[in-house]
Structure 1
Amino acid sequence: DFADRWNPILDVFDQVSVRYALEVHPSEIAYDFWTTQRTLEAVNRRPAFGINFDPSHLYWQMVDPVAFVYEFADRIYHMHVKESVHVLNGRNGILSSHLPFGDHRRGWDFVSPGRGGVPFEKIFRALNRVGYEGPLSVEWEDNNMNRDQGAPEALQMVRRLDLTPSNVAFDAAFASKD
C-alpha cells in the first residue's frame, strides 16, 4: 500500500529532479531503525526518497543516532538539529502518559540543543565521515526555556560543532608509496 501510493509520486519527483526527505518520527511510517529500513525497501531505495534525520526522536526512543547515520548515510538529505532528554525515574515512562511537553512527569522531553543527551559532536563527526553536505536546520523546542535565549544558544552550538572535515590524514607522511 505504501509503495503503491508513493511510487507514482516518486515518478514525478524523478522527472523534475526533486528529492523528498521523510522525517523519521514516531507519527510516521518510518520512526526507528527497522521501520526506516522497511520503508526504504518498500520503494526499492529509490533516490528520490530519503530521510530528514532528526536525532532527537531516535534518542528519546533509545535508538543510537550515530549508528543510524552510518546505516542510512546515502539517504540523509536533511538534518534537524533538535534535542531531547530522558527523564526516567522509575515512575515516568518513555511513552510519557499523554502528558504535555514541559510536564515534569514525562519520561522524555525536548530541550534546547546542547542541553540534553543527543550526542551532537559524534553525530556531526559521523556526518563528516559519510560525506554529508546537506542542510542543517535548528528545530528549537523547549517549554522550560525562553526562545530568545535558547535559539541563539543553539545556533552557537551548531557553529561550534559543524566541523570542516580535514583534507589530510595526520599520519599521511608514513603512508607507503610502493
Structure 2
Amino acid sequence: MARPVTLYTLQWGDLPLQTVCEKAKAFGYDGLELGLPDHLDVRRSDKEYYMQIKDLLSSYGMQLHTISTHLIGQAVCDRIDERHKSILPDYIWGDGDPEGVSQRAAEELIRTAHAAKALGVDTVVGFTGSSIWHYLYSFPPVTEEMVNEGYADFARRFTPILDAYQELGVRFALEVHPTEIAFDTVTAKRALEAVNYHPSFGFNYDPSHLGYQGVDYVDFIYQFPERIFHVHMKDVYWSDTPKQVGVFGGYVTFGDPRRFWNFRSLGRGKIKFEEIIRALNHIGYSGPLSVEWEDSAMDREQGAEESCRLVKHFDFMPSSRAFDAGFEKK
C-alpha cells in the first residue's frame, strides 16, 4: 500500500474547510494536514466539534494524520516584536508583552496536543522559534556561551510542552527551517541534545528548507531515522549563476526573480524526490507525504493538482526481497 498523499491547508486558509475538502478530493489527495488557526480551533473542548470535523473529512474520503501549528509555535521561543502580531490570533498576541505572548503560545501548543488526541491524531507539526536566530552570521562575534543559552532557553520552554505531549501519546515534529532552533543537520542534533532526546520530539522533514542552504537534504533522513515523524513534499529552485539577491533574501518578497532561491511547485525545482523516497523507504517511514504548496509565480490549484499526481508517481513501496534472489538455484 502506497503512503497517503495529503494537502497542508495553511496556504488555503482563506477558504472554508469544506471547500478545501472539495478541492483536495478533486485534485486526487487522500487526506488533509489541518493548519491552525484557520481550519481548527483548539480552544474548543466539546467532543461534538471534533466529531464534526472528522465527519466532514470522512464525507469527502479525506484521511487525517497530522495537524500543524507553525505560526503559534513560532512565538514560543522567538524574540517577540511587531512582526508576530500579523501572524498570531489576537488572543495569543494580547497586549504584545513578549513574555506573555510566549507563555500564551506555549499554552496553545499544549491545547493543540489535546485537540490532536480528540481527533485521533498522534503527530503535531510546528515551529519553535529561536531566541538566537539573530546571531546567525556571528558578527559581532558570538560566544559559545551565548549559543548554549539559546538552546537552554529552548529546553526550558519546550520540555514542559513535550512532557504534556508524551502524557497524551502525541509527538511534536519541528519543521527544520531558518528562524527555528534547528535549521540544518548540526543544529537539529543540538536541539535533540538540548531536550535530552525527549521521546515526543522529532522532525517534520521538508527538503526545500535544506536544499537552498546547501545542506545535504537526503543525508538528513539517514541521520535521524527514528526522528522523522512527518514529511512535507515541497520543492525549491536555486540559481546556478550569481543573482542580485543572495541566500539571505535581501529584504525582497518571496517570488522576486532577483532572488538566488524561491519555492516552486513540486517537480519544477531542484529537489531530487526519487532519492528522498528511497531514503524514506530505507528508514521505514510509512507516514503521509504532505504537499505544502508554495509557488508565488503559479496558480495554486494547477500546482496542487500537479503536485499530488507527481508525489504519487515518485512514491513506491520498498522491495521485500533482493532483486537477484530469483537467480539462486534450489
TM-score bracket relative to the smaller structure: over 0.9
Describe the superposition over 1:18-76 as per-residue Cα deviations: whole angstroms up to 9, x where unpaired: 10001101021111111101001111111100101110000011111100010011101
> Aligned partners of 2:164, 2:254: CA distance in 1, in Å?
38
Corresponding residue for residue 82 of structure 1: 234
**Mapping 1:1-178, distance limit 5 Å:** 1-91=153-243, 92-173=245-326
Describe the superposition over 1:88-135 as per-residue Cα deviations: whole angstroms up to 9, x where unpaired: 532331112121111111110000001000111100110001100122
> Aligned partners of 1:11, 1:79: CA distance in 2, in Å?
23
Deviation at 1:173, TM superposition (A): 4.2
Q: Secondary structure of 1:97's partner?
A: coil
Structure 1 unaligned regions, length at least 5: none
Identity %: 53
> Aligned partners of 1:99, 1:88: CA distance in 2, in Å?
20
Is residue 86–residue 109 contact of structure 1 (8 Å, CA) maintained in 2?
yes
Is residue 185–residue 215 contact of structure 2 (8 Å, CA) maintained in 1?
yes
Q: 3-12 or 131-140, which moves further after superposition?
A: 3-12
> Aligned partners of 1:49, 1:172: CA distance in 2, in Å?
39
Aligned-partner residue type, residue 324 of structure 2 = D
Q: 124-133 or 3-12, which moves further after superposition?
A: 3-12
Larger radius of gyration: 2
Aligned-partner residue type, residue 114 of structure 1 = G
Deviation at 1:87, TM superposition (A): 2.4
Is residue 242–residue 260 contact of structure 2 (8 Å, CA) maintained in 1?
no
Q: Secondary structure of 1:73's partner?
A: coil
* Length-normalised TM-score, structure 2: 0.52
Deviation at 1:2, TM superposition (A): 1.5
Structure 2 unaligned regions, length at least 5: 1-152
Q: Secondary structure of 1:74's partner?
A: coil
Root-mean-square deviation over aligned CA pairs: 1.7
> Aligned partners of 2:174, 2:167: CA distance in 1, in Å?
19
Is residue 88–residue 108 contact of structure 1 (8 Å, CA) maintained in 2?
no
Paired residue total: 177
* 4+ aligned runs moved over 4 Å, structure 1: none
